[in-house]
Amino acid sequence: MKRYDLIVVGAGPAGLSAAIEAARLGLRVVVYDENARPGGQLFKQIHKFFGSREHKAKIRGIKIGEELLQEATDAGVEIMLNAAVTGLFAEKEITARVNERILHRKADAIILATGASENMVNFPNWTLPGVIGAGAAQTMMNLHGVKPGERILMLGSGNVGLVVSYQLLQAGCAVAAVVDALPRIGGYGVHAAKVARCGVPFYTAHTIVRAEGGDRVTGAVIGELDKDWRIISGTEKHFAVDTICLAVGLSPMSQLCALAGCAMEDDPAKAGYVPVVDKYGETSVAGIFAAGDVSGIEEASSAMIEGRIAGLAAAHRLGFLDKGDLDARIAVQEKALAGLRQGMFAPGSRGKTFTRTDEGYPLSQNLLRKGYLDAAEISAYPGITPDKGLRPVIECAQNIPCNPCQDACPKHCITVGGTDGNITALPVFDAQKGCTGCGLCVASCSGQAIFLVDEDAGEVTLPYEFLPLPQKGDRGRALGRDGQEVCAAEITAVKTAGVFDKTNLLTMRVPPQYAMAARFFQRES
Partner 1 sequence: MTRIKEHPILGVYPKGELVEFTFDGQTLRGFAGEPVAMALRSAGVLIHRYTSKLRRPRGIFCAIGRCTDCVMVVDGRPNIRTCVTPLAAGMNVRTQYGVGEEK
Partner 2 sequence: MLERKDLGGYIAAPDDDLIVCRCEEITKGEIRHAIHDGLFTLAEIRRFLRAGMGLCQGQTCGRLVKALLARELGVAPAAVEPATARSPVRPVEMRVLADNQERDDG
Q: Show contacts with partner 1 in window 124-153 (CB under 8 A).
A: 127-133, 135-137, 139-142, 144-148
Q: Binding marks (x or -) toward partner 1, 472..491, rule CB under 8 A?
A: --------------------
Residue 502, interface with partner 1 (CB under 8 A)?
A: yes
Cβ atoms of 411 and 433 within 8 Å: the answer is: yes
97 binds, among partner 1, partner 2, none (CB under 5 to 8 A by kind): partner 2
Nearest to 224 by CA among 204, 242, 238, 241: 204
215 binds, among partner 2, partner 1, none (CB under 5 to 8 A by kind): partner 1
Least Å distance between CB 131 and partner 2? Answer: 10
123 binds, among partner 2, partner 1, none (CB under 5 to 8 A by kind): partner 2
79 binds, among partner 2, partner 1, none (CB under 5 to 8 A by kind): none
Determine the Cα–Cα distance for residues 425 and 448; give it in Å rounded to an integer: 17
290 binds, among partner 1, partner 2, none (CB under 5 to 8 A by kind): none
Q: Show contacts with partner 2 in window 246-275 (CB under 8 A).
A: 251, 253, 255-256, 258-259, 264, 266-268, 272-273
Determine the Cα–Cα distance for residues 74 and 64; give it in Å rounded to an integer: 15
Closer CB to partner 2, 124 or 183, in the complex: 124
Residue 147, interface with partner 2 (CB under 8 A)?
A: no
Q: Binding marks (x or -) toward partner 2, 105..124, rule CB under 8 A?
A: ------------x-xxxxxx
- Interface segment toward partner 1; rule CB under 8 A; list 32-40, 93-101, 262-270, 423-431: 32-40
Residue 410, interface with partner 2 (CB under 8 A)?
A: no
Determine the Cα–Cα distance for residues 311 and 313; give it in Å rounded to an integer: 5
Determine the Cα–Cα distance for residues 139 and 154; give it in Å rounded to an integer: 16
Q: Show contacts with partner 2 in window 443-502 (CB under 8 A).
A: none
Strand order in the sheet with 459-464: 391-394, 450-454, 459-464, 504-509, 485-495, 475-479, 520-523
Residue 127, interface with partner 2 (CB under 8 A)?
A: yes
376 binds, among partner 1, partner 2, none (CB under 5 to 8 A by kind): none
Determine the Cα–Cα distance for residues 119 and 163; give it in Å rounded to an integer: 17
Handedness of CA 177, 182, 183, 186 (dihedral sign): negative
255 binds, among partner 1, partner 2, none (CB under 5 to 8 A by kind): partner 2
Taking each helix axis from N to C end, the angle separating 323-340 and 300-317, rounded to the nearest 10 degrees, works out to: 170
Determine the Cα–Cα distance for residues 263 and 297; give it in Å rounded to an integer: 18
Give the count of beta carbons closer than 10 Å to the beta carbon of residue 74.
11
Q: Residues 62, 103, 182, 431: which binds partner 2 (CB under 8 A)?
A: 103
Determine the Cα–Cα distance for residues 447 and 357; give it in Å rounded to an integer: 17
